Amino acid sequence: MTSVLDVKNLSRAFGGLQAVRDVSFDVQEGEILGIIGPNGSGKSTLFNCILGQLVPDDGEVRIDGEVVTGLRPSQLNRRGVSRTFQLLQVFPQLSVRENLILAGQEHRGSRLKRLFGPRDAGLTTDANRMIDFFRLGHLAEEKAGGLSYGQQKLLDAAMAFMAGPRLVLLDEPAGGVNLTMLASLKERLQAINAETRATFVVIEHNMEFVMSLCTRILVLAEGRLIAAGTPADIRSNPDVIEAYLGH
Ligand code: ADP
Ligand code: MG
């Protein structure tokens, strides 16, 4: 079976700092894969290389078996790849609904030009569907900047699903989110995964969240992949415990 995402021998340095070292893994359709590792272990750099935001120094990225290394984010978007950001990318002055419509338009050209140009009725329908799915109905007309941090993270996740992606990369979706919103976020992500069979790769610091959401987990330390396995394997892996305690 062809993997949805296949990463081979990926490396990326910043000057003398080797941020990602020879990382290889693959992800099957419908899987929810977690990536954990101490701060600075290269998780976001790995995502940025996969998503075309950074060019790797070495290695290859395949989507559905096709080499996509070096393609721009917009080109990957058109192939059904979407992401959330560790630092929120919602527009604070725009409403929840407008943010979702913008996210849906993103792969078609300049966001702002599209927002203030003619509205695509299909996108409004999609935005409303996403609002219902993520239970943001009571907030649809609110400016995103007025939402709680957890609500903004939920909106950020909903935005990643606007293009109907097949592969979604989530960078610390649970960071700074309170317990109630965490449960709701996890439950909604599981529901959308079950419903659409979209494949997820999730970077996360919150161990409870990542261990209960993901079926398989990769561990990065100093840019290297040091372990891979089920949540139970990872919890008891001495190299993983060492990587966390050694810092
Ligand atoms: P993580 O997401 O696991 O916390 P990052 O991928 O953000 O780690 O960072 C890995 C290493 O690369 C860190 O030492 C970080 O300081 C460095 N780094 C990340 N991005 C840049 C950049 N644009 N320029 C220089 N160094 C960077
Ligand atoms: Mg990061």
Residue 78 domain-assigned (yes or no) = yes
The Å distance, Cα 172 to ligand 2 centre, comes to 7
User: Does 22 reside within a domain?
Assistant: yes
In a domain, 159, yes or no: no
Q: Is 177 a member of any domain?
A: yes
Closest Cα to atom 20, ligand 1: which residue? 45
* Count of domains forming the chain: 1
CB atoms within 10 A of CB 83: 23
Ligand 1 atom with least separation from CA of 37? 3
Residue 176 forms part of a structural domain:
yes
Can you give the residue range of the structural domain that contains 58? 3-93+166-245
The Å distance, Cα 197 to ligand 2 centre, comes to 26
The per-residue pLDDT for 48 is 94
Separation CA 227–CA 231 (nearest Å): 11
Distance from the alpha carbon of residue 40 to the mean position of ligand 2, in angstroms: 7
The ligand 1 atom nearest the CA atom of 39: 4
Nearest alpha-carbon partner for 46 in 218, 162, 241, 186: 218
Q: Which of 14, 41, 43, 171 to mutate to test the pocket of ligand 1 (most atoms within 8 A of CB)?
A: 14
198 in any annotated domain: yes
What local confidence, expressed as pLDDT, does residue 110 receive? Answer: 42
In a domain, 59, yes or no: yes
Which residues are CB-neighbours of 245 under 8 A, at least 6 positions away?
none
CATH code assigned at 56:
3.40.50.300
pLDDT for residue 117: 52
**CA 200, chain centre distance (Å):** 7
Q: What is the reported pLDDT for 233?
A: 94
Nearest alpha carbon to residue 56 among 98, 8, 89: 8
Query: CB of 207 within 8 A of CB of 34?
Result: no
Tell me how far the alpha carbon of residue 83 lies from the centroid of ligand 2, in angstroms: 13
Question: Is the minimum distance from the CB of 41 to ligand 1 under 6 angstroms?
Answer: yes
For ligand 1, atom 15: residue with the closest CA: 40
Answer whether residue 145 is part of any domain: no
The per-residue pLDDT for 114 is 45
Dist. CA 205–CA 223, nearest whole Å: 16
Q: Running along the chain, 247 residues long, what does each successive block of 10 average in pLDDT?
A: 93 97 97 95 96 95 94 87 79 94 70 51 88 93 93 90 89 87 90 92 91 95 96 91 75
Question: 54: how many CB neighbours lie within 10 A of its CB?
Answer: 17
pLDDT at 105: 81
